[in-house]
A and B are shown apart, each in its own frame.
Chain A
């Protein structure tokens, strides 16, 4: 089975600052990778997915971008954070139908 690593675990950033969240996967090769955001306490919103190196699809227009420089690395970025970017960010990897989630990054934009 695959293991999803995310860092940092928590992050406090001022409005207008850049962002880089990293996700790495072990235990599988060429995984499909996903970035989700979870608003305070509740549902998961799919932000980006990637089926391979350099292949990124966006689900919703936003202030964020994603990149996949290596097979098992998925990065979520922003050039200038907004207050509305605060949330719990989750990376997931796919094995056939199942998606397995990482531990998440709690981002607070102040």
Chain B
């Protein structure tokens, strides 16, 4: 079953704190795990992504940790800022067909609403 479970549904973190959002997947065929950030009334924006052969990826204040054996991955936002307040979606995908001509099915988690208090 192509399902991605995301938790928590909502999260309140104080400014400067660490925000942690967790996701778990079932389909071991997934080979790419992106995170999206969405502000109210806007489309989701790709934030950071990881492949299953890597255990961690860091870009600025954002880090993905990946545990292949547990089929879990998480997003850590260090030094959280009020401007980080948004909804975050994890996703998992695998490529049908060849890299250049196939399509990828993105399976999304249900999202986490993050509020960073000043």
Contact = CB atoms under 8 A, between A and B. Distances in A.
A56 to B, nearest CB: 12
A32 interface: yes
A44 B108 contact: yes
A41 B110 CA distance: 10
A76 to B, nearest CB: 15
Interface residues of A, number: 23
B7 interface: no
Interface stretch (A60-68, A78-86, A89-97): A89-97
Contacts of A4: 43
Main secondary structure of the interface of B (DSSP, over half): strand
Interface string A92-105: 10101111111110
A106 B41 contact: yes
B111 A97 contact: no
B104 A94 contact: yes
Interface of A: 4, 32, 34, 41-44, 46, 49, 51, 90, 92, 94, 96-104, 106
Q: Which 8 A-B pairs have the closest CB atoms?
A: A101-B43, A97-B32, A32-B103, A43-B110, A104-B43, A44-B108, A101-B44, A103-B43
